[in-house]
Amino acid sequence: MITRIIKFKLRPDSKKAFDDLIRQFKDELLAFPGVHHLEILSEKGNSDSIFILMIFVSETDLEQFRSSVLNKVIKKRLNEMIDGDFLVWMVETLKEER
């Protein structure tokens, strides 16, 4: 499993547009092949600081999502709502040896 974490800061005037965007695309994101989990989080005490956490079954699934029309549409719309740049991490779960 590959987890992709995206952090960005919403412009204060974009909160409603962001909520609308999530409502519009959440089901489609969850139905995308290889998407195992999706969470939209905000920093405690700072609701302008948003995190999108997506877990993909494989790195191939992540790459297919990154090159998809769905991702490009969402990213374009998000770019209109944020202050600054996206911060992005790709992490994977460490396997415990027993």
Q: Looking at residue 65, which CATH number applies to its domain?
A: 3.30.70.100
**What domain range is 77 assigned to?**
2-92
Query: Is residue 97 in a domain?
Result: no
pLDDT per residue of the chain (98 residues) written in tens, 0 to 9: 899 999 999 999 999 999 999 999 999 999 999 999 999 999 999 989 999 999 999 999 999 999 999 999 999 999 999 999 999 999 988 876 66
What number of other Cβ atoms are within 10 A of residue 3's Cβ? 16
Q: What is the pTM of this model?
A: 0.87
Query: Is residue 32 in a domain?
Result: yes
49-79 as b/e: b if 16+ CB within 10 A = ebebbbbbeeeebbeebeeeeeeeebeebbe
- In the block, residue with structure tokens 């547009």: 17
Query: Is residue 98 in a domain?
Result: no
Rounded to an integer, what distance in angstroms lies between the CA atom of residue 73 and that of residue 51? 18
Q: What is the residue-wise DSSP string for 24-37?
A: HHHHHHHHSTTEEE
